[in-house]
Amino acid sequence: MKALLCSFVPFVFQKLNMKIYGVALLASCFLLGKLMGSFLGVCLGINGDIGGVGFAMILLISVNLYLKRKGWLQEETKQGILFWSSMYIPIIVAMAATQNVKAALTGGPLALIVGVVGTLACFFLVPFIAKIGKE
């Protein structure tokens, strides 16, 4: 059975001509961002993730820009990151938002204050981030 499966899987991928690009970069940025958010939650005494998805997005944007400037990002990888960002990140943001609301409601006023400050900071950073795309 194992031999049959091992010979069938490469055949399927050859026929579909499926290539997955950018997944490792996206996943590592997400995991590192969630780790940073959880660490921030522990430091502030809140049982939850504070800004993990936001940290992940900032990491993804930063690493993406760095790799583009160095010329290390292939066109296929750029397209893969764009595809996975448009498909994957909105789902993760929705899932993390649900968890963050639960943690904020049980975390007390400090969690609410941190959430409001973080949201306001994002609003003020939009013009600066918009300028990055015009280069």
Structure tokens at 61: 């944007």
Q: Examine the pLDDT at 7 and tell me if it is beyond 70.
A: no
Q: Is residue 41 part of a domain?
A: yes
Count of structural domains, the chain: 1
DSSP state of 39: H
Q: Is residue 5 part of a domain?
A: no
Q: Is residue 8 part of a domain?
A: no
Range of the domain at 74: 19-132
Q: Is residue 10 part of a domain?
A: no
The answer to whether 47 touches 102, Cβ cutoff 8 Å, is no
Tens of pLDDT, residue by residue over 39-95, are 998 998 888 788 887 888 888 888 888 888 888 888 888 888 777 777 766 776 676
Q: Is residue 4 part of a domain?
A: no
- pLDDT for the residue numbered 67: 86
Q: Is residue 110 part of a domain?
A: yes
Distance between CA atoms of 23 and 74, rounded to whole angstroms?
A: 14
Question: How many Cβ atoms sit within 10 Å of the Cβ of residue 101?
Answer: 13
Dihedral sign of CA atoms 64, 65, 71, 77 in order = positive
Q: Is residue 55 part of a domain?
A: yes
Tell me the three state secondary structure of residue 17. Answer: coil
Distance between CA atoms of 35 and 54, rounded to whole angstroms?
A: 12
Phi-psi region of 22 (alpha: psi -120 to 50; beta: other; left: phi over 0): left
- Choose among 119, 120, 121, 104: nearest CA to 46: 104
Structure tokens at 82: 């764009």
Q: Which amino acid is at 125?
A: L
The answer to whether 32 touches 58, Cβ cutoff 8 Å, is no
Q: Is residue 11 part of a domain?
A: no
- What number is the average pLDDT over the span 113-133? 86
pLDDT class for 32, splitting at 50, 70, 90? very high
